[in-house]
Amino acid sequence: MYNLAQEQKYIFEQIVERALEYRPDVIVIAGDIYDKSVPSGEAYQLFDSFLNSLAGIEPTIPILIIAGNHDNQERLQYASSFLERHQIYIVTKPPQEGEEYLKKVTMSDSFGEVDFYLFPFVKPGYIRHLFPEEDLLSYERAYELMLNREKIDFERRNVLVAHQFFVNQGKKPECCDSEQMSLNVGGVDSIDIRVVKDFDYVAAGHIHGPQTFENGRVRYCGTPLKYSVSEELHKKSITLVTLEEKGKEPMIETIPLIPLHDVRRLRGSLDELLQTKEVSKEDYVSITLTDEKELYRPKDVLSEVYPRILEITVDNSRTRNIYAGLQGFDMEAEEGMSKLQSPLDAFREFYQLMQQQPLSESEETVIVEILENAGGDVS
């Protein structure tokens, strides 16, 4: 694991510089301020410094913030009433009482007023008590009911700030590996964009890769940094949205964000990777070694050239045979069909290959216990 504080600070500084350059009418942050409910003190300090820098721009640019599914509602809401006096609006919870409604912030430009509705991440259970007549409340139905109770005047220009998993007639947004684990199996958390189709623009958070639905009127801006190897090809950016008169499609411009260190995959033999000059050696790298021969402590050797190694894997004929053995498939050898290894033997060989040393007696005891508990054939 690497401390990303410097990477984040570098990106925050770019965002502040672009805000000074472009002077937007409002800045929107659509959830997942932090990556976990109890962030570190350093994370709090970084975000606090970022907000202070944005708030220091003259004339003042209002900032709209909602909570995402990773944020702690109570922690993020701290000092929100004070911040609102400085035009920093933070909303962490959906309405909880019958007389409560979504936070609405109204801005004005040369075309008139624009109503921004701040709708933080919501699960059906958060608001079920508001709709006692509903027996089964899905994500989509809950969202639709919450918006309907607002009685929004769609003759006006309206922007929704949201943090949900939107789909377009069953078509899902592109997700990376780092997000798949947090999305519910079977898509039970999905909300069709028909529910938000009447908004002039939907500024959506939740998905790491920038992408749009509905001719750009529903847009995921994506994260400002790459947080996993699966985001290697993402082009991180700020989304600049221009709204004109009612009924006109929004104009969208992406402003690139350049990371301090990029994230990339590298593949090749040890010698090839040590000699390549095609990539920055300072990037965060996921390395796949293709050498057929066993290598002695390859990470130590590679670390002298690549100081930010995220992971090293081996992909050659031997590891593919081992993987196939673990999956229970026969592999065709040159002399015919090879006999499958037992799970324990396969793991012994795999461990030896990856660690360059055999399993210790205590480690093997643990593996045997795991295999027995799983109901597998250890022999």
Tens of pLDDT, residues 66-76: 999 989 888 88
* Architecture of the domain spanning 5-256: 4-Layer Sandwich (3.60)
pLDDT beyond 80 at 366: yes
- Residue 374's pLDDT band, with cuts at 50, 70 and 90, is low
pLDDT beyond 70 at 340: no
- Residue 278's pLDDT band, with cuts at 50, 70 and 90, is confident
Least confident among 126-135, 172-181, 215-224: 172-181
CB-CB neighbours of 161 under 10 Å: 27
Domain layout of the chain by residue ranges:
5-256, 263-373
Better pLDDT: 196 or 363: 196
Report the pLDDT value the prediction gives residue 379, as an integer from 0 to 100: 58
Report the pLDDT value the prediction gives residue 288, as an integer from 0 to 100: 95
State mean pLDDT over 13-42. 93
Percent of the chain scoring above 70 in pLDDT: 89
